[in-house]
Amino acid sequence: MPASIRSDLGIPEQSRACLFDLDGVLTQTAVVHAAAWKEMFDGFLREWGERTGQPQAPFDPVADYDTYVDGKPRADGTRSFLESRGIELPAGSPDDPPGKLTIAGLGNLKNQIVVRRIEQDGVKPYPGSLRYLDAVIAAGLHKAVVSSSANTASVLESAGLAGRFDTIVDGVVAAQQHLAGKPAPDTYLAAARALGVPADAAVVYEDALAGVAAGRAGHFGYVVGVDRVGQADALRASGADVVVSDLADLMADR
């Protein structure tokens, strides 16, 4: 634990930048992603069981989501879950049609479902995250969004958060710059570089185990775990310096 924590933000005094994950930290979209993964995988698993004669249990939107896909790039999450069921598919290519029996095709179908759900229902930010972001802005700290999602811009727009960050490193940027996804620290390190801030002067805010692990692997100054689903112990084990249920909990006047 750092010797000096500023009470208004609950982070080390020497912090100069705040690097926020999006889904589950700033916006209430983790549940949208979990539902989209379930819709995609359940359809695939039914088809796979019929093709192979080996019925598969449905995708669990809590246990499977948290363990295999949360926070990871789409292809990595798809592959990780399929491996847990002993299923191997070819990688395919990024332009595979949604639903094609490749890693890319299934991932593209999941993304199609997410986009549809966001367009239908919109996205809401967490009220506590808004309060915290306002305090970060008032403190004059640098701000970034670091997300595996390729839909970050539309989610920020829907949530009313567009234009409030100095830089964004998302799935689109990661692909352009060939950055490894979480749990590798590459995307967070890229955000820190874009802000001109060393990793040890930046704070990572994450709700996913893979994201917390990325923050620890990158040797960031402080890693805040946000526990929305009752996995506080796992977040600590993955490397969180502190775990809160809401970002506003970090503030002295909460």
Q: Tell me how far apart the terminal alpha carbons of the chain are, to the nearest angstrom.
A: 21
Give the tens place of pLDDT for each residue, 27-55. 998 888 899 999 999 999 999 999 999 89
Q: Rounded to a whole number, what is the largest CA-CA distance in the chain?
A: 60
Among the candidates 67, 99, 121, a domain finishes at 121
Residue range(s) defining the domain that contains residue 47: 31-121
Please check whether residues 187 and 128 belong to one and the same domain.
yes
Please check whether residues 136 and 182 belong to one and the same domain.
yes
What is this structure's pTM?
0.82
H/E segment holding residue 109: helix 103-121
Please check whether residues 176 and 77 belong to one and the same domain.
no
Give the tens place of pLDDT for each residue, 162-192. 999 999 999 999 999 999 999 999 999 999 9
Tokens of 147: 């997300």
Rounded CA separation 65/127 (Å) = 24
CATH code for the domain in which residue 47 is found: 1.10.150
Please check whether residues 205 and 218 belong to one and the same domain.
yes
Q: Which residues pair with 6 in a beta bridge?
A: 11
Please check whether residues 85 and 35 belong to one and the same domain.
yes
Instruction: List, by residue number, the catalytic residues.
Output: 21, 23
Angle at 27 between CA 145 and CA 183, to 5 degrees: 50
Please check whether residues 45 and 85 belong to one and the same domain.
yes
H/E segment holding residue 30: helix 30-52
Which residues in the chain show pLDDT less than 70?
1, 3, 253-254
